[in-house]
Amino acid sequence: MIEYQQEYDEAVALLKQLISIKSLSREEEEAADAMESYLQSKGLDVNRKGNNVWVWSGQKDPSKPVLLLNSHLDTVKASSKWTYEPFSPTLEKGVLYGLGSNDAGGPLVSLMATFLLLSKSEQPFNLVFAATAEEEISGINGVSSILDELGNIDLGIIGEPTLMQMAVAEKGLMVLDCTAKGKAGHAARNEGLNAIYEALADIEWFRTYQFPEVSDLFGPVKMSVTQVNAGSQHNVVPDTCSFVVDVRLNEKYSNKEAAKLIQAQVKCDAVPRSTRLNSSYIPLEHPVVKRGIELGREYYGSPTTSDQAVMSFTTLKMGPGDSARSHTADEYIKLDEIKEGIHLYYEMLNNLNIRS
């Protein structure tokens, strides 16, 4: 087994440094500075755009596929329920407390260490590591802003806390703003066309419709009407009724496909706020999944959204830590989880033919 004590020690030290930096979404500059400085200390040619930092391992070989290792620098705000200081890394009995320690500082520094280890020997792929911004808000100035500069990617490993199990699929998210139209009139007389009544049939359709394609991992597409608004006063028949639909897509549908299907079925205007956050899926026959299974890793479908949602190439979400700790008070990661993460990442990726 390859020795990686130095990479592990430096990863933990960098994680402590990152915890001590306030790096809320859109405020990651200082964290990006820290990552850039560390990578430069390794003699690497560091690229930067905004608060996104990335580095290649050696010269790109156009005959080889490209493997991306990616996780995010930003955190959510700390809640008032913390008993530890969220920006002060606190180590107790092998457990490191601090905001962003689990989501996604542990995966981030573990992937960084893995990048350095893989770079020590010739690999059958071009390798790039990217520490990116705005993941927690699915922002346009995060990883999506540098994908064109990275070029074609054949496989992405997305570092999020999964207990180092393999999230082979991720649900997509689409929010629809729907408007049913009627005609205003006086409620005391038989006037107008009530937009609320016009909306009822569509609301019932959203409640009961079943998309044909059902996922083995997620089951059916889930649609929920979550907000309804209509009317200005009690004696006026409303001419519009607006409502919001939360749509959670399985890996069988892209957001654009689902939006087209929905609009063909309902009478109201159903306008997506965005179609960026798509579902994702990596086949179980993919070499990285097969190697993970050989190493005793389990696979599952993840209900939470990550930067996978803005990537059109094949991705696998995996990392040390536990998603159940994310966005919670007294967030933590175990140092043994980081050590295991580096080891398993390396064993899964070293000399992997990702095109086979």
Q: What confidence tier does 322 reach under pLDDT thresholds 50, 70, 90?
A: very high
- pLDDT at 250 (0 to 100): 96
Closest CA to 39 of 128, 126, 105: 128
- In the chain, % of residues over pLDDT 90: 96
Mean pLDDT along residues 156-160: 98
Backbone dihedral angles phi then psi of residue 131, each to the nearest 5 degrees: -105, 115
Q: What confidence tier does 356 reach under pLDDT thresholds 50, 70, 90?
A: low
- pLDDT at 3 (0 to 100): 81
Mean pLDDT along residues 84-113: 98
Mean pLDDT along residues 92-110: 98
- pLDDT at 93 (0 to 100): 97
Mean pLDDT along residues 104-118: 98
- pLDDT at 355 (0 to 100): 87
- pLDDT at 242 (0 to 100): 98
> Is a pLDDT exceeding 90 seen at residue 102?
yes
pLDDT by residue (tens digit) across 189-230? 878 999 999 999 999 999 999 999 999 999 999 999 999 999
pLDDT by residue (tens digit) across 232-246? 999 999 999 999 999
> Is a pLDDT exceeding 80 seen at residue 1?
no
Please indicate, yes or no, whether the overall pTM of this predicted structure exceeds 0.75: yes
- pLDDT at 19 (0 to 100): 98
- pLDDT at 85 (0 to 100): 98
